[in-house]
Amino acid sequence: MLVLVLILGAVLGSIVVGLLLGVVLAGAAAFVGYWTSDAVALRIARARPADPEQYARLHNLIEGLVIAAGLPKPRVYVIDDPAPNAFATGRSPRHAAVAVTTGLLNELSRIELEGVLAHELSHVKNDDVLLSTVAVTLVGMPAVVAPPVFGPLVRLAVDPKRESSADVNGVALTRYPPGLISALERIHATPTTVHSDSRAISHLWIASPSSRSGLDERIRVLKEL
């Protein structure tokens, strides 16, 4: 993204002025992206804080998993959407958030929900949540405006293997692969997708609304563990 802005700056102005402008714009974008991307992602998803009493099961599961993973408890959000899905966002383990849809809470059993939450917390523990979160503002939002130009950059910015890695680390945390396997199968079998299917955050979801083709392979890998 930095290189792209530098090139555009050089093309639109003189070489020196364009490069200086590009450095300033790229630096400002990186600064804003680092500090605000998580809030932007949550707002796009229409997430709201999960009340500890109303969503006691959700908080209890997360509290148990963060103790096992050695992580601080993230902020917990709920998204009013019937489609089962979830994502993690944030710039560090101490500034992370996990958001789940009401459909996920309603349709999944406790064991299945634990598997999904362990997957999302693995993103936080693996530190890949920072890159995917910052990509929301630096690449994802421009991709909404100009998909042909910025769409491929989303795929380049976010490693497609991060989901499979989080799957494996998630089941290592719960020590029960069937929980996540069953959750992914339920999500895969659901015909509806989340209403917040913006390209800006599509890469954050445990099952991307824009493409579910990789779920079969992820399920197959988990079954071989």
Crossing angle of the two packed helices 2-12 and 15-44, in degrees rounded to 10: 130
112 catalytic? Reply is no
Torsion of CA 51, 55, 61, 67, to 10 degrees: 20
Q: Which residues contact 72 (CB under 8 A, 6 or more apart)?
A: 66, 93, 94, 96
H-type alpha helices, 90-140: 102-107, 110-125, 129-135
Closest CA to 186 of 101, 126, 129: 101
Number of residues that this document lists for the chain: 225
Neighbours of 38 (CB within 10 A): 24
Distance of CA 19 to the CA centre of its chain: 32
Q: Choose, from 63, 112, 114, 120, the residue flagged as catalytic.
A: 120
How far apart CA 122 and CA 168 sit, in angstroms, is 9
Q: Which two tokens stand for residue 43?
A: 């707002």
Residues forming the active site:
120
